Amino acid sequence: MKPLSVAIIGAGSWGSALSIVLNSNGHTVHLWMRSSKQLQEIKTTGKNQKYLKDVTIPDTIKLSNDLKATIKDKAVVLLSVPTQSVREVLKKIKPWLRKDQLVINVAKGLETQTKLRISEIIKQELGEQPCVVLSGPSHAEEASRGMPTTVVSTSKDKKWAEFVQDLFSNDYFRVYTNPDIVGVELGGSLKNVIAFGAGISDGLGYGDNAKAALMTRGIREIARLGEAMGAEISTFSGLSGIGDLIVTCTSMHSRNRRAGILIGQGKSFEETLEEVGMVVEGIKTTESAYELSKFYNIEMPITEQIYDVIYKGVEPKEAVIQLMSRRKKNEMEEIAEGREIDW
């Protein structure tokens, strides 16, 4: 692919990491951040310490606080802002976008008020603007250091998914395409809920047995809701499903898991969010997932217990007891998708 000009909106950990990936691919990267203090720090030290500790931001990446100048006439506009800020940012940039500019979203979550996926928000705000979602098991701390990383590009339009595959792919950053935009977005969003629960389990001092159960039963919950919402069930066996769930439930790079650990250790939510220091998408997504499960009449016991811990003040240990003492079941009832099992 010939070099292109790319605007990245948001200089958090993932936006900064992707700016490094695209810069290494020879593209001209314009990185926008809201904070002038952050901009000065990167210009002065070459580091974005709060979000990417000890990672050098190449001086060939162009930094800016000017949103209009950042996106004007760029071939690609990549959104790397918290889910709950996406609509606000879209409203701001809409007057300056050309209809042929591709918008890529890399945030993972559901809008709390509407329960919409981010591609749906983009459709509402920008109409037929070309749109791609990039998701999958990818910690910024590793991708920014050139460690092997594999993600998924999805869009309603195959040509744009493949365009983004070419834009990002190199010898350490591999991109697959997937036509199931609903499944990819839901997998990337809902795994944060289960990862928060896995962190709580770790914070309580439980072991690998408990985490394996949470992850295995958690992906079933995600798949059940996803299928009800129109996703392909096979997507949840892929990178944006079980792949993203594994990496988020097991790594200390995961802010959702770290937040859960602190809650499990008895910290308040205020103390937890202050210590993590970044947006914990799983907290808001838990509310959305819980409400969607009620709307679609889908059984999601892990999500329900995590919701009770966050929003009803239930003690984490009590939530675990509730999960462990549920009605006895045959695992194949669900794996066989409700079909009668001859046994």
Q: Output Rg (C-alpha) for the chain, integer angstroms.
A: 20
Model confidence band, residue 279 (pLDDT cutoffs 50, 70, 90) = confident
Residue ranges, comma separated, of all CATH 3.40.50.720 domains in the chain are 5-179
Summarised one tens digit per residue, pLDDT across range 3-21 is 999 999 999 999 999 999 9
Catalytic choice (108, 191, 211, 284):
191
Q: What is the pLDDT of residues 291-307, one digit of tens each?
A: 999 999 999 999 999 99
Residues 117-153 have pLDDT tens digits of 999 999 999 999 999 999 999 999 999 999 999 999 9
> Mean per-residue pLDDT for 272-280?
88
Query: Per CATH, the architecture of 5-179 is what?
Result: 3-Layer(aba) Sandwich (3.40)
Q: 334 pLDDT exceeds 70?
A: no
Tell whether the model's pLDDT for residue 335 goes beyond 60.
no
Burial of 337 (0-12, 13-18, 19+ CB in 10 A): exposed
Q: Which part of the chain has CATH 1.10.1040.10? A: 182-335
CATH fold of 182-335, please? N-(1-d-carboxylethyl)-l-norvaline Dehydrogenase; domain 2 (1.10.1040)
H/E stretch holding 46 reads: none
Q: Which phi and psi angles does 300 have, rounded to 5°?
A: -135, 75
The per-residue DSSP string of 71-94 comes to HTT-SEEEE-S-GGGHHHHHHHHG
In the annotation, is 191 catalytic?
yes
Tell me: the pLDDT tens digits for 217-263? Answer: 999 999 999 999 999 999 999 999 999 999 999 998 999 999 999 99
Return the pLDDT at 338: 53
Contact 11, 32 (CB under 8 A): yes
Instruction: State residue 149's pLDDT score.
Output: 98
pLDDT of residue 324: 84
Whether 343 has a pLDDT exceeding 80, the answer reads no
pLDDT at residue 278 above 90?
Answer: no
Contact 142, 110 (CB under 8 A): no
Specify the pLDDT at position 133. Answer: 98
Which pLDDT score, from 0 to 100, does residue 233 have? 94
Distance between CA atoms of residues 191 and 282, nearest Å: 8
- pLDDT reading at 339 higher than 70: no
Least confident segment among 12-21, 183-192, 318-327: 318-327
Complete DSSP assignment for 114-144: T--BHHHHHHHHHTT--EEEEESS--HHHHT
What is the reported pLDDT for 336? 46
Asked whether 4 and 27 are in contact (CB, 8 A), the reply is: yes
Please determine, for residue 340, whether its predicted confidence score (pLDDT) is greater than 70.
Answer: no
**pLDDT for 162 beyond 60:** yes
CA–chain centroid gap for 34, Å, is: 21
Given a cut of 80, whether residue 337 has pLDDT beyond it is no
Which 8-state DSSP code applies to residue 229? T
Mean pLDDT of 90-101: 96
Find where tokens 């976008």 sit. 97
Q: What is the DSSP string of 248-316?
A: HHH-TT-HHHHHHHHHHTT--HHHHHHHH-S--HHHHHHHHHHHHHHHTT---HHHHHHHHHHHS---H
The pLDDT, as a whole number, for residue 323 is 86
